[in-house]
Structure 1
Amino acid sequence: MSSTPTVLITGCSSGFGLDTARLFLDRGWRVIATLRNPQVSVLPATDLLRVLPLDVTDAHSIQRCVAEAGPIDALVNNAGIGLLAPLEGVSMATAREVFDTNVMGTIAMTQAVLPQLRERGAGVVVNVTSSVTLKPLPLLSVYTGSKAAVNAFTESLALELAPFGVRARLVLPGRAPSTSFGANARRLVERSGHPAYADYTQHVFGVMRDGHGPVTQALDVAEAVWRAVTDPTAPMRIPAGEDAVALSQEGPNASA
């Protein structure tokens, strides 16, 4: 990496992306913070920061962003949307929206920056997915499917990039009530209801709202991303947050 390395982070309007951008700035990195509407950025003004518009579902937007960003040392694919809904109530349009952002957006951004990393023989791609891929949970079939796809994509990608000195890693956050995930998910739920699941859906939402135990803070995710980017010995999957760590220790066969 250069003396002042550069990271490009997607989805920096709030939550994980925002705190990750702040942490990298605090530790002396140049940060390319991307979001759909740069006018709403709340990041501190500094010579180390550039804020660029980016829609990860738009090929032209990706091309413009990567060209304007210039050389980078790390890509953090954090942009994503959530969905909590029974599958029977999810339209194919909504399912495609989730996969377009969470999966195809990640793949497209990665493909766009790989040439420069491969040619330099250095760099890292970090994909932020979710601890829901570690344990089956209700009303998350489409969302979990999208994040599990990114897990598999990243693990395979890491093998093909290793000969070129480029790393790929995963960060798996737990439940983070303070982020915009819940609001985004509820927006999609409004058009993804199904009367047969109404009582069950309300029960699950109630459990989530009243749930006790550890949760994930945005700073937990930022620290995990920092480790994935800066520590070449970091494992492929890094759980972020106490609840995510607990799930990773339980394994996929733990009871829901």
Structure 2
Amino acid sequence: MQTILITGCSSGYGLETARHFLAKQWNVVATMRSPREGVLPPSEHLRILALDVTDGESIARAIEDAGPIDVLVNNAGIGVVGAFEATPMSHVRKVFDTNTFGVMAMTQAVIPQMRDRRSGVIVNVTSSVTLAPMPLAAAYTASKHAIEGFTGSLAHELAHFGIRAKLVEPGYAPTTRFGQNTSVRPEQLLPKAYADFAAPIFAEYAQPLLTTTESDVAEAIWAAATDRTGTLRFPAGPDAVALFRAA
């Protein structure tokens, strides 16, 4: 029986992915910054651990407590919506600390054990903004593009040791808490000069033609984690698949 460690399991993609792998009878290590009871039903195959991907000591403790990890899913992420010129660099750094450096730190922490066993899979969850950048999310888009390049390079670097690196690219999911975990509302980062530009964009976000569900992402992560080919990218959701094919 294989063990998967998933970051960002308190809600959204991470939570649904934990449910998906539990249903497949995997051992699941579901991690989140502040573990709470009831987020997942009790199971002999489930462990819930505290993990802050921006904290090196927290990462080290979680990796040690988890034991041998067959699949790492770097899902934890945050967003920020607004005009880039009005986005404080403190917010930009916060986005990169989680979305980029947190992914790199988790990956670096798990590689040695996978290398010693000459097996393992690292799945990095990015976004369809890497296929078609969306406006008013420049910092978020940049943080996800960085992981795309990182993972592509890593796939070549680690293949020698039997380790596979994969990308899952979710489309737009209105049900996610995008932008809420930076404690700043979009309107705070929208100068009046951007009002006419932003209005139709937010209207489109409110009623998108195609959307991605949490199940779409969980299924794509399953496909990536179990894939034994050289496939790198796994778009998740009908909108992401359409963008992927167009690209």
Question: Scaled by the length of structure 2, what TM-score is found?
Answer: 0.96
Q: Deviations over 1:86-118 (max 9, x none)?
A: 110111000000000000000000000110000
C-alpha separation in 2, matches of 1:238 and 1:15: 18
From 119, 122, 125, the equivalent of 1:125 is 122
Whole-angstrom distance in 1 between the partners of 2:39 and 2:192: 40
Give the letter aligned to residue 154 of structure 1: T
CA 1:75–1:169: 2 relative to 1, 3 Å: same
> Paired residue for 1:202?
199
Correspondence list, 1:75-154, <5 A: 75-154=72-151
How far apart, CA to CA, are the structure 1 residues paired with 2:108 and 2:16? Answer: 25
- Match 2:215 to one of 219, 222, 225: 219
Distance 2:183 2:245 in 1: 29
How far residue 159 of structure 1 moved from its aligned partner, in angstroms, is: 0.6
1:60 alignment partner in structure 2? 57
The match for 2:242 among 236, 246, 253 is 246
Give 1:188 shift. 5.0
Give the CA deviation at 1:216.
0.4
Structure 1 stretches of 4+ moved >4 Å: none
The alignment partner of 2:119 has SS state of coil
Superposed CA deviations along residues 169-205 of structure 1, whole A, max 9, x for unmatched, are: 0000000111222544783535433232133223321
2:14 maps to 17
Counting aligned pairs with the same residue, the percent is 55
Q: Secondary structure at the match of 1:75?
A: strand
Unaligned 5+ segments in structure 2 are none
The residue identity in structure 1 corresponding to 2:72 is L
Q: Gapped runs of 5+ residues in structure 1?
A: 252-256
Aligned residues of 2:16 and 2:214 also touching (Cα < 8 A): yes
**Aligned counterparts of 1:42 and 1:234: Cα–Cα separation in 2:** 35
Letter of the aligned partner of 2:212 in structure 1?
T
After superposition, the C-alpha distances for 1:33-57 in whole angstroms (9 at most, x for unaligned) are 0001101551110010000001101
Q: Normalising by structure 1, what TM-score?
A: 0.92
Asked if the contact 1:84/1:185 (under 8 Å) is kept, the reply is: no
C-alpha separation between the residues in 1 aligned to 2:179 and 2:155? Answer: 31
* Distance across 2 between alignment mates of 1:122 and 1:233: 14
Say how many residue pairs are matched.
Answer: 247
Aligned CA-pair RMSD: 1.5
Question: Separation in 1 of the partners of 2:243 and 2:117?
Answer: 37
SS at match of 1:201: helix
Aligned to 2:94, the other structure's residue is in SS state helix
